[in-house]
Every structure is written in C-alpha cells, then in structure tokens.
Amino acid sequence: MSLTLYLADWFRRLSPFTGTTLPHVATYTRELPVSMARMYENAIDGDHLPWLHRETFTDMTISESDNTGWRGQGYLQPRSFTTWMELELRLDRENHRWITTTTRGLGKGSQVITHAIPLAENRIKVVVDFYVPKLPKALHKMYGKQLVDTYTRLYDQDLEMMRTRQRALDIAASAQPDSNPARIVLGNRTGLDSQLPLQFELAGRPYRLVRIGDKLVAHASTCPHRLGPLQDAKVVDGQVECPWHGYRFNVISGECTSGQHGQLPLAPVISIDNDEVVASSEENV
C-alpha cells in the first residue's frame, strides 16, 4: 500500500463526517473460465490469503469460518502496526454474491460487494464494487485505482488456483488405475540425478521423484487438502510445503507435519532393476 493511500485512509477514518450511504469508488469486472462451484469455494476459503496472496497479505489468521464465509485478522503487506486489519466475508448464494467488509483496522468500514454471474457451465463474470465510507470525492479515483490493481493481481492468482484445482479434479475423476501400466522405467540410475526432481505419471496420477540423502523417493505431486500443486515445491528437511494453504508433508512417510489433518496419497515404490530406476504401484511390488 502506498504512503499516500495509507495517509488518505487515516484522514478518512478520523474525519467527523458521517454519511448515510457508502460512497462507491470503483468497479472491477472480469470474465473467468471457471464454474460457480470453483468460485464459491474460492470465496469462502479465507485460509489461502496469506499463502496464495502472500505479496498482499501476511500473518492472517482465520478465526471463524463455515460454508457461508469467514472472519480473519492479519496484515496487508508490508507488515507494520499500521497495516493490521480484520476482514469478514459473507456469501449470499441465493443472490450469487458475497460481501467482504473491513471490520477493524486499515480500511475500516469499507465494503467490497462481488456479484458472480454464470455465463456457461465453466464461465462466469465477476462484478466487484468497492465502497469506502467518508472518502472525499477527490480521492475516489486514486483509491479506486489501487483497489482495482490489487484485485486484478488477486484474481490472476485465484484464477490459476481454480483452474489447477479443476484440472486435478478432472484427472482424479478420469484416472483408471487398472487400465494403465503400474510400472514405469524412469531412467538409467547413473544419468537420473541430473534430471531430478523428475515429474512422472503412473496409472494416470502425477508424482515426482526426488533425492532424500542417498535415497530416491517418489511422492504424490498433488496436495491431499484441496489438490494444490506440489510439483514445484522445494524439498526442505525432507518435507514439501503446499503453496495454497501452507500444509507441509514428509516426503517419505506422507505425514502432514504442519499440524493439520491429511496424508499424501500412497506413492509408487522406487527400485533399481538392471541399473534402471523403476517406479511401481505398491500392490504390484
């Protein structure tokens, strides 16, 4: 957030003026190639804010959440005592909309009302209206531009997340474990290290081969929480961290090590056969 905007927000919050209506300062619209189901899921998922949108939010804790919304407290980037805020989102499925209110801190009293309009099975349009109380008319344009720029970035990231999740759901729905080979040669033992980490598929499911110490290990490259992508996650201390909500998993045991419930799906067993590295489904070993 720019210094000018921050000062404008304080000026607004300290202003004695109280209007009866919330001034509308900007609208952001965008067509998105996703279903309403993916969009609603994204809206009521407050936990992704400090992970997927880490350049915008930090140290955000979701203190309440259910299938109608959430309430969370945290900071806008860059973190300082001046950028703390509390947000609340309420989903109104009947009217295809959700309202995000800043209930405390920076931006207090502001509301963002998003309408989602279904255009086709996997295509929607969002119309996002920004309302900021007590903001002088002269500042609407500057304030509105900052909000639209921020939401453009947030929706770029949300779109990537929703499309990746839809692809993962489609793969899971169409995977035919018995109709594909349950054994695959990944390469020659001597040349393989230069290709690590190596992504591969077995029985239609994505995995990744990594080296942990002197062992070659395969792990599922889809997160069991909401099917987030693990194929590019760095392996640190034998663990991978999902970029969507920060769940961490032990690559060898699959166990969730960040305190939530969850376990990586069973991965293929890696063995050496005639100097070749082979991945096999557990039941066939």
| Residues at the interface with ligand FES (CB under 6 A) | 223, 225-226, 228, 242, 244-245, 247
Please state the closest distance from residue 79 (CB atom) to ligand FES, in A.
Answer: 22
45 binds Fe ion (CB under 5 A): no
Residue 106 or 242: the one with the smaller Cβ distance to ligand FES is 242
Minimum distance of Fe ion from residue 102's CB (angstroms): 16
To ligand FES, the closest distance from the beta carbon of 38 in angstroms equals: 13
Among 102, 158, 219, 239, binds Fe ion (CB under 5 A): 158
Task: Give the contacts of 242 (CB within 8 A, at least 6 positions apart).
Answer: 51, 223, 225, 228, 229, 230, 233, 248, 249
Q: Which is nearer to ligand FES, 46 or 105 (CB)?
A: 46
218: partner contacted, choices Fe ion, ligand FES, none (Cβ within 5-8 A by kind): none
Residue 130 site contact among ligand FES, Fe ion, none (CB < 5 to 8 Å, cut-off depends on kind): none
Binds 247, which of ligand FES, Fe ion, none (CB < 5 to 8 A, cut-off by type)?
ligand FES
Please state, in angstroms and as integers, the Cα–Cα distance from residue 219 to each residue in 215, 229, 250, following that order.
Answer: 13, 12, 9
In three-state form (DSSP H/G/I as H, E/B as E, the rest C), the secondary structure along 184-234 is EEEEEHHHHHHHCCEEEEECCEEEEEEEECCEEEEEECECCCCCCECCCCC
213: left (phi over 0), alpha (psi -120 to 50) or beta: left
> Which CB atom, from 205 or from 245, has the smaller least distance to ligand FES?
245
Task: Pick between residue 28 and residue 51 the one whose CB is nearest to ligand FES.
Answer: 51
Residue 158 binding result from ligand FES, Fe ion, none, given CB thresholds of 5 to 8 Å by partner type = Fe ion
Beta strand extents in the chain (DSSP E only): 24-32, 57-66, 69-76, 84-92, 97-105, 111-120, 123-131, 183-188, 198-202, 205-212, 215-220, 239-241, 248-250, 269-273, 276-280
Nearest distance, CB of residue 254 and ligand FES, angstroms? 13
Bridge partners, residue 217, by sequence: 210
Q: Which is nearer to Fe ion, 72 or 105 (CB)?
A: 72
Residues that bind Fe ion (CB under 5 A): 158
